[in-house]
Amino acid sequence: MKYSWQHPDWPNFTFDETLCRDALYQYALEAGRLSGGMSQLENTLQYDAYIDLMVSEAINTSQIEGERLDCEDVRSSIKNFLGLSNPPTRVADPRAEGMAALLVDVRNSFAGELTKATLFHWHQLVLPQQENSLLPRSLKVGQWRDSVEPMQIVSGPIGYEKVHYEAPPAYQVDTEINRFLDWFNRSNPLKAQRDIVLAGPVRSAIAHLWFETIHPFDDGNGRVGRAIAEMALAQDLNRPPLLSLSTIIEKDKNAYYDGLNKASQLNLDITDWVTWFVDSVLLAQQEAAKKVDFVLKKAKFWEKHQHTELNERQQKVLSKLFNAGSGGFEDGLSAKKYISITGSSKATATRDLSDLVEKECLYRLEGGGRNARYGVGLE
């Protein structure tokens, strides 16, 4: 025996919750504080903040798996599904539409039970069928894996592969999922009666690990598993969480995969995994507060410049920077980037940028020399 699912006491995980008590307390404080702050905002600003966090989650949960999605495609898809675009914006990438649909569905249905039908539906959203798809024809979408070959997590070149983990065989998947779903639904804090009581982030940590250990699908397990983790957090708060967990995971995905790998070994003590996961949830909550602050600053920017005369190119660049979120300002805006966005000449870009600085829409960052970079004038 090598893995946790082979342990005679599986799936009776053990952990020391006292080691993450401070992080749980801080998370509860910050979640309440941010929720209270959000309730004071106008509806349009609330939507902006929610959408920014959902875009971050969609982009990063895909990036963790090595899949890049276009930020604008994701944003447009989310707004379409929320009914905020009339008429709906056309989105060419079905992957962006699928991830947007998944996140909206998690937020709309979090209070209900998690079922196999839900998991199959989410899997279909994560792996949309499309012409010219790079997905192998044998890949099962919207159903459990059924190959007699072992489901292994491996790395390294062909002939020198290292097996990090082997999931339960396909014939056990349905039984294992039934047991997982029974636990998840019996521990739902929104139920009038429950016989399993866990702190929200701890339950989320266990749910994610348990699902990933079963690894029920041919592909897409990580993205579906992180949706389950978010559903658990939403049930704890009785509202969609104001955070993007995948944004934090993507920043240190080696620690994430290492944690999953260690927690899936034969020992059922998952204290290290739970502690790491709870810390990540807290970091995600703190990062979300920064994003909401950015939304407020963006609103103040447009209020300040509502009568500022801007040409079409300048409006396009500013909108694109704001749509990229707070991370879109990290490297600043260069003339080269301005030309790339607008298709203008170098002379026009230089003139437009100087005009934006004069109107206090942009300011010149220190350093850079001839390759000047500009930041957005947020207050």
Q: What would the pLDDT profile of 123-137 be if each residue is shown by its tens digit? A: 999 999 754 455 555
Kindly state whether residues 54 and 201 are assigned to the same domain: yes
> In this structure, how many other beta carbons lie within 10 angstroms of the beta carbon of residue 74?
26
Q: Is the bond preceding 87 in cis, omega lying within 30 degrees of 0? A: yes
**Whole-number pLDDT of residue 325:** 67
Kindly state whether residues 216 and 177 are assigned to the same domain: yes
Single out the residue of 196, 214, 209, 213 nearest to residue 274, CA to CA: 209
Lowest-confidence region among 112-126, 133-147, 258-272: 133-147
Kindly state whether residues 149 and 58 are assigned to the same domain: yes
In this prediction, residues 109-135 reach a mean pLDDT of 86
Distance CA(39)–CA(155), nearest Å, equals 46
Is residue 191 one of the residues assigned to a domain? yes
Number of domains comprising the chain? 2
Report the binding-site residues for ATP: 219-226, 256-257
Is the predicted pLDDT of residue 211 greater than 70, yes or no? yes
**Whole-number pLDDT of residue 349:** 93
Q: Which of 241, 269, 294 is the last residue of a domain?
A: 294
Q: What would the pLDDT profile of 301-311 be if each residue is shown by its tens digit? A: 988 999 999 99
Pure H helices in 215-270: 221-237, 245-251, 253-263
Angle 113-214-209 from CA coordinates, rounded to 5°: 75
Q: Provide CB contacts within 8 A for 341, sequence distance 6+.
A: 316, 317, 320
Look up residue 307 and give its two tokens. Answer: 């009568």
In this prediction, residues 273-279 reach a mean pLDDT of 98
**Whole-number pLDDT of residue 264:** 95
Kindly state whether residues 188 and 108 are assigned to the same domain: yes
Look up residue 57 and give its two tokens. Answer: 């989650």
Distance CA(182)–CA(205), nearest Å, equals 16
Kindly state whether residues 329 and 266 are assigned to the same domain: no
Among this protein's residues, is 215 annotated catalytic? yes
Residue 155 φ then ψ, to 5° = -145, 165
**Whole-number pLDDT of residue 250:** 97
Is residue 87 one of the residues assigned to a domain? yes
Single out the residue of 224, 80, 244 nearest to residue 144, CA to CA: 224
Task: Report the range out of 192-196, 316-320, 364-368 with the highest average pLDDT.
Answer: 316-320
Going from the C-alpha of 243 to that of each of 75, 259, 288, 335, the distances in angstroms are 16, 21, 5, 33
Q: Which of 264, 294, 324 is the last residue of a domain?
A: 294
Look up residue 12 and give its two tokens. Answer: 């009776």
What CATH number has the domain bearing residue 346? 1.10.10
In this prediction, residues 29-35 reach a mean pLDDT of 94
Confidence of residue 192 (pLDDT cuts 50, 70, 90): confident
Mean pLDDT across the chain: 91
Report the binding-site residues: 219-226, 256-257
Q: Which residue has the higher pLDDT, 192 or 358?
A: 358
In this prediction, residues 96-119 reach a mean pLDDT of 97
Kindly state whether residues 278 and 321 are assigned to the same domain: no
Strands 362-364 and 373-376: antiparallel
DSSP 17: G
In this prediction, residues 347-355 reach a mean pLDDT of 94
Look up residue 237 and give its two tokens. Answer: 């708060």
Kindly state whether residues 250 and 337 are assigned to the same domain: no
> In this structure, how many other beta carbons lie within 10 angstroms of the beta carbon of residue 228?
22
Confidence of residue 194 (pLDDT cuts 50, 70, 90): confident
Is residue 131 one of the residues assigned to a domain? yes
Domain of residue 352 covers 305-376
DSSP 88: P
Kindly state whether residues 209 and 261 are assigned to the same domain: yes
Q: Which of 7, 215, 305, 307 is catalytic?
A: 215
Mapped onto helix, strand or coil, the DSSP state of residue 93 is: coil
Angle 283-67-118 from CA coordinates, rounded to 5°: 75
**Whole-number pLDDT of residue 136:** 57
DSSP 68: -
Kindly state whether residues 256 and 319 are assigned to the same domain: no
**Whole-number pLDDT of residue 328:** 60
Is residue 300 one of the residues assigned to a domain? no
Is the predicted pLDDT of residue 39 greater than 90, yes or no? no
pTM of the model: 0.86
Residue percentage of the chain with pLDDT more than 70 = 95
Distance CA(377)–CA(379), nearest Å, equals 7
Kindly state whether residues 262 and 163 are assigned to the same domain: yes
Mapped onto helix, strand or coil, the DSSP state of residue 376 is: strand
Q: Provide CB contacts within 8 A for 311, sequence distance 6+.
A: 352
Q: Which of 247, 265, 294 is the last residue of a domain?
A: 294
Kindly state whether residues 146 and 275 are assigned to the same domain: yes
Place of tokens 């600053």: 297
Look up residue 193 and give its two tokens. Answer: 């009666």
Single out the residue of 282, 283, 165, 277 nearest to residue 228, CA to CA: 277
Is residue 197 one of the residues assigned to a domain? yes
Confidence of residue 293 (pLDDT cuts 50, 70, 90): confident
In this prediction, residues 242-267 reach a mean pLDDT of 95
Is residue 31 one of the residues assigned to a domain? yes
Kindly state whether residues 8 and 140 are assigned to the same domain: yes
Is residue 152 one of the residues assigned to a domain? yes
**Whole-number pLDDT of residue 134:** 54
Beta strand segments in the chain, E: 152-155, 162-166, 333-334, 362-364, 373-376
Angle 44-46-49 from CA coordinates, rounded to 5°: 110
In this prediction, residues 209-223 reach a mean pLDDT of 97
Distance CA(244)–CA(115), nearest Å, equals 23
What CATH number has the domain bearing residue 9? 1.10.3290.10
Mapped onto helix, strand or coil, the DSSP state of residue 195 is: coil
Is residue 299 one of the residues assigned to a domain? no
Angle 139-144-149 from CA coordinates, rounded to 5°: 65
